[in-house]
Amino acid sequence: MTAKAGTRSGTHEPGHKPRLGVSTCLLGENVRYDGKEKSDPLLLKAFADHVEWVPVCPEVECGMTVPRDPMHLAGDPSSPRLVTTATGDDQTERMRTWVRSRLDDLAREDLWGFVLKSNSPSCGTRAVPVLDARGAKTGEVAGLFAAAVGERFPLLPVADERSLRDAAEWDGFIERLFCLKRYRDSTRPRRSRESLVAFHAAHELQLMAHGPGVLRKMGELVAHSKELPLEELSVRYEELLRTAMELAATPAKNADVLLHALGLLERYLSPDERQEALALIEEYRGANAPLSLPVTLLGHHIGKYGVEYLDSQSYFDPHPVAFRLRERS
């Protein structure tokens, strides 16, 4: 990125790795019910040494043995029980007691997010089947630990290893990691209206790329920030921030953001420069060019002409290059 150095110096901290909670089995530890190794080479290769893992295995850490009877979720999908498949022994309260204690520990770990094991009755992030007494599926939910993580840490991105094999899912997860970490850092050591307004101003284009409708609501909230108690303002803003960042940044929305940025640059550009940028944006919109090309070109112009508002935008530098250059296979 060639925009002015220093303006976004707080976006990434050199040497400061994201700390991610992770299902221990994905790292290759033999903690699964059958005692078999179940590492995920693609996951480990993708993150390489760019993150610091904080491993968690709900079953083993709550006192279950390796090997052990397999388990599944049963009963009412709105309040599922964790039971052994062969004998029907109910392990729910044992798991919930451990979860409450472990989440207190994890709250002190300064985690950025979680990568959990798909389909697990404890760690599955979505679509874990709930079975009735006859083994028929009555619904799909998150595993007990994954659901508790989402309730306790609503601003932390959570994904499973299977979803991260998809390029769009990967990009979305990494972008949420860094955006929401910047938000949390902006509220330290304590929240203030000024820090929230500054965060919002620096992330307008990034939020526009995900949810332009949500951005409008956020803008209205920020505009009336002095009329609300700080706690209410923060809660409402965080809900909207999470909602916006969970929406996909589609080619159409990205192209609209790029055109908006081009409009702000237009007074500085020659006709040829403007036409080159416009053509590249439309090539991207039509799936004939990657997003990195128009972003890099506009970034060059932002740095060259010193456009302060655009240079402050996280959209043009959302996360370190190591995560953008992930090898996908």
Per-residue pLDDT of the chain (329 residues; tens, 9 = 90+): 333 333 344 455 544 789 999 999 999 999 999 999 989 998 999 898 999 999 999 999 999 999 999 999 999 999 999 999 999 999 999 999 999 999 999 999 999 999 999 999 999 999 999 999 899 999 999 999 999 999 999 999 999 999 999 988 999 999 999 999 999 999 888 889 999 999 999 999 999 999 999 999 999 999 999 999 999 999 999 999 999 999 999 999 999 999 999 999 999 999 999 999 999 999 999 999 999 999 999 999 999 999 999 999 999 999 988 887 543 33
Task: Say whether both 184 and 101 belong to one domain.
Answer: no
Structure tokens at 27: 């790292």
Chosen domain end from 165, 185, 204? 165
Q: Is position 24 within any domain?
A: yes
Q: Domain range spanning residue 267?
A: 167-329
**Which pLDDT does position 12 carry in this prediction?**
55
Last residue of a domain, one of 137, 165, 193: 165
- Is the domain of 174 the same as that of 303? yes
Are 77 and 113 in the same domain? yes
On whether both 193 and 320 belong to a single domain, the answer is: yes
Q: Dmax over Cα atoms in the chain, in whole Å?
A: 75
Question: Does the pTM of the predicted model rise above 0.75?
Answer: yes
Give dist(CA 102, CA 41) in Å, integer.
27
Q: How many CB atoms lie within 10 A of CB 144?
A: 25
Q: Do residues 218 and 329 both lie within one domain?
A: yes
C-alpha R_g of the chain: 22
Q: Quick count: other Cβ atoms within 10 Å of Cβ 204? A: 20
What is the helix (H) or strand (E) element at residue 170, kind and residue range? helix 167-186
Q: Which of 114, 145, 165 is the last residue of a domain?
A: 165
Overall number of domains in the chain: 2
